[in-house]
């Protein structure tokens, strides 16, 4: 057995450790003896020789058969190093560091108290590793292949490293584990039973990294987990083997993530469940070259999900975020009857966060969309029952429709101003048609003055605001009204001239505004009216006035918050 260089004390401890392992495990192989010396001297045991094949992610499951005995370590030797009290006396505090080895037999460390690090780099285990209830400093399986890892209630103060080429052929189980941080960057996790990683109720003081070429061919379960740092799934690949509609690719139901939940550019072929999850911030969009919009997970649950912020580099506009919530609604509708109204909590929480981050307009648009999405299912729900609820369905439908169209269910409070401008312009065009010649005065004394004027030789030209306005303008002309072509000279009394002179002139745009706005008097609507038989008097004027009352009422109700913003 080759002895390694070290101090006399280290060499003495190494020989004692070899003797102990020989008594406990039998005759040691060359590789096992080298491991004993490396552990005693605080060195890494490297078993790879020139020309040997290195283990890689794409390596065949049976590639270890060509490795030879010079790379083989029995699991009993490793267990003795980890659990035998006397063996620990001869070991360096740096623990076990082994590379490019084949571990034969089942390594079972369940219940063991390992006060040092276990680091296996590019090793291959014949059987699953068991570490249920184990206390350890750090478990590092970087680049290692294992049939499975069963570590329920594992306590690893430093962390668990399953990264950079790590392969688990039958999944990793870490429920109720307490670890420093979990790093699975670049690892591959397969599972015939459909569960790639089981980390329910796991407590991680730092972060969980499932990123950068991470692949999970099975569900990743983090339900109820408490993560003190970030959950980083950026550029990860999550695929469930279950084909049912509720198959979860990543389940973080009830989890608490103190830092950021980063699923940027992650691919989910399954259900992303964030139900009742508490998150510090979300960075969640997926981008593709040549696209300007976000690509959200198609199947997503945000029921009762609470997050403190949206990452500033993420999409914060209402258009993309509403597509995000639409995926949530579509997913939830698969689990609940169609006539149930959509869950309002994700909309309201998104609006709250957008408003807190300074996006007031986008927050209002989110709540407007919530209002529109809620009244349709409520209407269908009322129509399915009898009695008063069914009878009130149509009126409620009409009210909700106008409430949404005019004031955006209370969140587009200044939208009525656009309706005001539209009706104002339409009224101005209609009432001012033909220079206002289809309008006539409403006061009797003006009509009598017209009648007297007509008796003097009126030729049948229609009396209209243009004529009246001309009379008023020519009052100063010695009380004599002159017409340009068709009117003969008419002499009116002073009383008649005073009546006509004091009569308000007709103005189409003022008349339109006066008729539209309730409780406002511009001295037009009371003095002028469309002529009899004209469609504007029989149809448009009532519609113009009624629209003004409706729009003004809803504007006042929404602006003063007298109506619910739903």
260 is written with which tokens?
A: 């950021």
pTM score, two decimals?
Answer: 0.73
Cα separation of 514 and 508, whole Å?
10
Residues 56 and 203 in one domain: no
58, 172: one domain:
no
Last residue of a domain, one of 49, 82, 116: 116
In the chain, % of residues over pLDDT 70 = 73
Same domain flag for 112 and 147: no
Among 47-56, 501-510, 513-522, the minimum mean pLDDT is found in: 47-56
Q: What is the 3-state secondary structure (H, E, C) of 470-490?
A: HHHHCCCCCCEECCCCCCCCE
Residues 195-200: contacts with CB within 8 Å, 24+ apart? 195/171, 195/219, 195/221, 196/168, 196/171, 196/172, 196/220, 197/171, 197/172, 197/221, 197/222, 198/171, 198/172, 198/173, 198/174, 199/174, 199/175, 199/225, 200/175, 200/176, 200/224, 200/225
Of the chain, the end-to-end C-alpha distance in Å amounts to 81
In a domain, residue 213? The reply is yes
Residue the block writes with tokens 């399915």 = 384
pLDDT at residue 188 greater than cutoff 60? yes
Residue 366 lies in a domain: no
Asked if the structure places residue 468 within a domain, the reply is yes
Helix axes 508-516, 541-559, angle to 10 degrees: 60
Tell me what the mean pLDDT of segment 51-67 comes to: 62
Average pLDDT over residues 534-563: 79
Kindly tell me the sign of the dihedral angle through the C-alpha atoms of 184, 190, 193, 194.
positive
Of 258, 287, 315, the one marking the end of a domain is 315
428 and 530 co-located in one domain: yes
Same domain, 544 and 425: yes
Contact between residue 255 and residue 226 where contact means Cβ atoms under 8 Å apart: yes
Residues 106 and 175 reside in one and the same domain: no
Q: Which residues pair with 45 in a beta bridge?
A: 98
pLDDT computed for residue 332 by the predictor: 82
CA atoms of 490 and 471, how far apart (whole Å): 11
Indicate the SS3 state at residue 233: coil
256-272 pLDDT tens trace: 999 999 988 888 988 89
**Residue 376: predicted pLDDT:** 64
CA proximity to 137, closest of 178, 187, 165:
178
Q: How confident is the model at residue 490 (pLDDT cuts 50, 70, 90)?
A: very low
Q: For the chain, give percent helix, strand, coil, nearest 5.
A: 35, 20, 40
Q: Quick one: tokens of 348?
A: 């309201």
Asked if residue 239 belongs to a domain, the reply is yes
Q: Which of 174, 280, 188, 165 is nearest to 231 (CA)?
A: 280
CA atoms within 13 A on the CB side of 560: 7
Centroid of chain to Cα 178: 29
Residue 377 has pLDDT above 80, yes or no: no
In a domain, 331, yes or no: no
- Residue 338: exposed, middle, or buried by beta-carbon count in 10 A (0-12, 13-18, 19+)? exposed
- Average confidence (pLDDT) over 129-145: 94
User: Which run of H or E residues covers position 195?
Assistant: strand 188-198
Of 84, 90, 177, which is closest to residue 135 (Cα–Cα)? 177
**How far is the CA of 174 from the CAs of 147, 151, 278, in angstroms?**
15, 5, 21
- Please indicate, yes or no, whether residues 199 and 274 belong to a single structural domain of this protein: yes
Using the 3D structure, point to which of 287, 315, 343 is the last residue of a domain: 315
What's the domain range around 91? Answer: 1-116
With the C-alpha atoms ordered 63, 65, 69, 74, is the resulting torsion angle positive or negative?
positive
At what angle are helices 8-25 and 75-83 packed, to 10 degrees? 120
| 566 within a domain of the structure (yes/no) | no
Answer yes or no: is 356 within a domain. no
Residue bearing the bigger pLDDT, 468 or 123: 123
Per the listing, tokens 């269910």 go with 409
In a domain, 409, yes or no: no
Same domain, 132 and 263: yes
In this predicted structure, what is the pLDDT of residue 480?
41
Number of independent structural domains in the chain: 3
Q: Same domain, yes or no, for 307 and 163?
A: yes
The dihedral over CA atoms of 481, 487, 489, 491, expressed in degrees to the nearest 10, equals -60
Residue 353 phi/psi, 5-degree rounding, is -70, -45
Virtual CA dihedral for 432, 436, 439, 443, nearest 10 degrees?
Answer: 110
**Co-location of 74 and 144 in the same domain:** no
Query: In whole numbers, what is the pLDDT of the chain averaged over residues?
Result: 80
Mapping DSSP to helix (H, G, I), strand (E, B) and coil, where does residue 440 land? strand
DSSP structural state of residue 79: H
Same-domain pairing of 153 and 210: yes
Residues 347-356, mean pLDDT to the nearest whole number = 91
Please name the residue that has the structure tokens 């990264």.
Answer: 163
The answer to whether 476 and 437 have CB atoms below 8 angstroms apart is no
For residue 371, give the 3-state DSSP assignment: helix
Q: Which two tokens stand for residue 142?
A: 């970087």
**Residues 184 and 206: beta-carbon distance below 8 Å:** no
| Cα 55 to Cα 389: distance, rounded to the nearest angstrom | 70
Query: Helix, strand or coil for residue 281?
Result: strand
For residues 56 and 190, membership in a common domain is answered with no
């Amino acid at each position: 057995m080759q002895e390694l260089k070290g101090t006399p004390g280290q060499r003495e401890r190494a020989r004692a450790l070899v003797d102990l392992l020989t008594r406990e495990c039998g005759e040691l192989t060359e590789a096992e003896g080298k491991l004993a010396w490396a552990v005693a001297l605080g060195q890494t045991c490297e078993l790879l020789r020139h020309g040997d094949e290195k283990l890689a992610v794409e390596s065949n499951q049976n590639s270890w058969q060509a490795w030879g005995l010079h790379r083989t370590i029995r699991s009993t030797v490793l267990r003795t190093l980890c659990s035998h009290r006397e063996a620990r006396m001869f070991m360096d505090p740096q623990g076990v560091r082994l590379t490019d080895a084949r571990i034969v037999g089942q390594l079972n460390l369940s219940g063991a108290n390992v006060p040092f690090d276990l680091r296996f780099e590019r090793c291959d285990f014949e059987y699953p590793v068991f570490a249920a209830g184990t206390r350890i400093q750090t478990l590092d399986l970087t680049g290692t292949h294992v049939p499975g890892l069963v570590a329920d209630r594992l306590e690893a103060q430093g962390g668990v490293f399953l990264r950079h080429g790590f392969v688990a052929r039958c999944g990793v189980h870490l429920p109720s584990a307490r670890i420093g941080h979990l790093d699975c960057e670049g690892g591959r996790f397969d599972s015939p039973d459909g569960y790639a990683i089981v980390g329910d109720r796991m407590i991680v003081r730092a972060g969980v990294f499932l990123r950068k070429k991470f692949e999970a061919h099975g569900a990743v379960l983090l339900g109820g987990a408490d993560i003190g740092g970030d959950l980083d799934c950026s550029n990860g690949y999550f695929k469930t083997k279950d084909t049912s509609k509720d198959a979860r690719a990543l389940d973080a139901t009830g989890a608490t993530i103190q830092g950021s939940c980063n699923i940027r550019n992650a691919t989910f072929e399954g259900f992303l469940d964030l139900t009742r999850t508490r998150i510090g911030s979300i960075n969640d969009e997926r981008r593709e070259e040549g696209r300007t919009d976000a690509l959200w997970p198609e199947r997503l649950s945000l029921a009762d999900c609470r997050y403190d912020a949206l990452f500033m580099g993420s999409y914060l506009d209402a258009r993309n975020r509403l597509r995000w919530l639409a995926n949530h609604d579509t997913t939830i509708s698969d689990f609940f009857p169609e006539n149930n109204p959509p869950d309002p909590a994700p909309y309201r929480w998104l609006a709250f966060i957008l408003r807190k981050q300074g996006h007031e307009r986008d927050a209002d648009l989110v709540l407007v969309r919530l209002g529109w999405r809620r009244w349709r299912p409520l209407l269908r729900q009322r129509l399915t029952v009898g009695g008063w609820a069914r009878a009130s369905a149509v009126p409620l439908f009409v009210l909700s429709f106008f409430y949404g169209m005019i004031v955006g269910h209370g969140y587009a409070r200044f939208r009525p101003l656009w309706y005001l401008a539209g009706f104002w312009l339409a009224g101005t065009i209609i009432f001012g048609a033909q220079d206002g010649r289809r309008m006539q005065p409403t006061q009797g004394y003006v009509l009598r003055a017209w009648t007297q004027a007509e008796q003097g030789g009126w030729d049948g030209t229609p009396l209209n605001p243009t004529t009246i306005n001309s009379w008023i303008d020519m009052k100063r002309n010695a009380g004599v009204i002159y017409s340009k072509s068709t009117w003969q000279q008419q002499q009116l009394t002073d009383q008649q001239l005073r009546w006509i002179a004091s009569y308000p002139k007709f103005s189409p745009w003022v008349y339109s505004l006066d008729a539209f706005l309730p409780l406002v008097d511009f001295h037009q609507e009371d003095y002028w009216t469309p002529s009899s038989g004209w469609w504007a008097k029989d149809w448009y004027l009532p519609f113009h006035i009624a629209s003004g009352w409706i729009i003004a009422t809803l504007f006042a109700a929404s602006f003063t918050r007298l109506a619910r913003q739903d």
